[in-house]
Chain A
């Protein structure tokens, strides 16, 4: 099992938040975790764009879910779009990404039309790729979640934090993210992973898609 580069294991209690008091009294749940602080990691060629391209190009993942508040044109690095295209062209993969379509005052919008269009063009011929927009009156869509998984191999990688889909978010801004490596053989990891996936499928994708 590949381990994240990490000086030591981070004991995370929050994965047990749904347990009963009796269950919680058991052994602490541990998870491999690594902080990804930008632009500091970018200097070591470990920016979020480096990681996303590497993980898309890696053959260990079969599914990608993304939920990102703001998509900007600057986030469509050609190498990233190429990696996403190669990912969906592999047999047995699935890609689902949801961008926010928030409207602020005046002409201010959360995501760029051209950013969404470029992603759609990169994934155009892939039946296993879906792009969604999220818009809710009175509520901002603001997550930054990048989830790679391979349920057959019992593992998943979650990157979550402050990085939007932009050059700033991927490389240049001061951003704080954490990478969590789920071992799905672990019941607590599996429970947390399922909870996360259910949010994608219930709230951040078009319902008709799930019923099709």
Chain B
């Protein structure tokens, strides 16, 4: 797929409804003469498709799975600040971003978890992820230290879990946070792992009925480059994921940069 392609979908009368969250619901024959300027009063055209998505919007956005075209920024960008009146003012001065992120460069793995014949508590990963992200070594007895973060930021006990090599060179280890949970019928659970310098991987298991699930679906839809029929796994950073998931409880427990 070429960079910049894959973001157009054919719409017909039969499938129009699935795209409805992306379109404005408007009454027919409404008097919207010359509404272009009025409807754009509070709209920043440079900020399209950036807000956190509710579940319905996330589902519609997930239909557009393309390969973004990265554009190199060759000029200093304007800093846009909002004055007390709410009007935007461009200062023309580039200022470094405030350092509010927890350790922005920490590596993060965002992974959909398959059902795996109801053994989904044992998450599967390929060799590249097993070695490259979790730091295990093929052929050696590996354990991985995990620590789950609750929705309110509370930390569970550290889980020391052995990894198991299974068929087709996949590697599996258990997620205690999935214990006792039934695999959902309305979507895939998503696990987010943060690689800490200490060697303990913080993780958060997000189920489809969790308010944060839509944000992660949006992230995966935007970043996944693989086949549409595969479990989506994306390697990223705290900084990049924070743009989609600003309210993650993970950020509360990570040390600030």
Contacts and interface: CB of A to CB of B under 8 A. Distances in A.
Interface string B62-90: 01101010000000000000000000000
B48 A102 contact: yes
A197 to B, nearest CB: 15
B49 A140 contact: yes
A136 B9 CA distance: 11
Interface string B5-36: 11111111100100111111111111011111
B103 interface: no
Bin chain B's interface residue count.
35 or more
A113 B16 contact: yes
A74 B42 contact: no
B182 to A, nearest CB: 31
A204 interface: yes
B61 A104 contact: no
Contacts of B27: 114
A113 B25 contact: yes
A62 interface: no
Contacts of A113: 16, 20, 23-26
Chain B residues touching A, majority SS? loop
Given A105-B47, A137-B61, A202-B2, A173 B20 contact: no
Contacts of A132: 8-11
A1 B49 CA distance: 44
B46 interface: yes
A137 B218 contact: yes
A169 B42 CA distance: 19
Interface stretch (A24-32, A48-56, A82-90, A160-168): A160-168
Contacts of B221: 137
A111 B26 CA distance: 10
A108 B42 contact: yes
Nearest to A73: B26
Contacts of B29: 73
A72 interface: yes
B43 interface: yes
Bin chain A's interface residue count.
35 or more
A95 to B, nearest CB: 13
A120 interface: yes
A116 B2 contact: no
A120 B39 CA distance: 24
- Of A104, A117, A173, most B-chain CB atoms within 10 Å: A104
A114 to B, nearest CB: 5
A103 B8 contact: no
Interface in A116-161: 116-117, 120-121, 124, 130-142
- Of B7, B39, B44, B57, most A-chain CB atoms within 10 Å: B7
Contacts of A107: 24
A136 B28 contact: no
Contact of A203 (B4, B22, B46): B4
Contacts of B185: none
A47 interface: no
A26 B28 CA distance: 55
A130 B1 contact: no
B59 interface: no
A141 B47 CA distance: 11
A131 to B, nearest CB: 5
Nearest to B23: A113
Contacts of B21: 103
Interface of A: 70, 72-74, 98, 101-105, 107-117, 120-121, 124, 130-142, 164, 166-169, 172-173, 202-207, 209
Given A72-B26, A101-B22, A107-B24, 20 more contacts: A101-B19, A104-B44, A104-B45, A112-B24, A112-B26, A114-B25, A114-B26, A115-B26, A116-B19, A120-B16, A131-B11, A132-B11, A136-B7, A137-B221, A139-B68, A168-B33, A173-B34, A202-B5, A205-B10, A207-B6
22 contacts: A73-B28, A73-B32, A105-B42, A109-B23, A109-B24, A110-B48, A114-B28, A116-B23, A117-B16, A134-B8, A135-B7, A136-B49, A136-B64, A137-B50, A138-B49, A168-B35, A169-B36, A172-B33, A202-B2, A203-B7, A206-B8, A207-B6
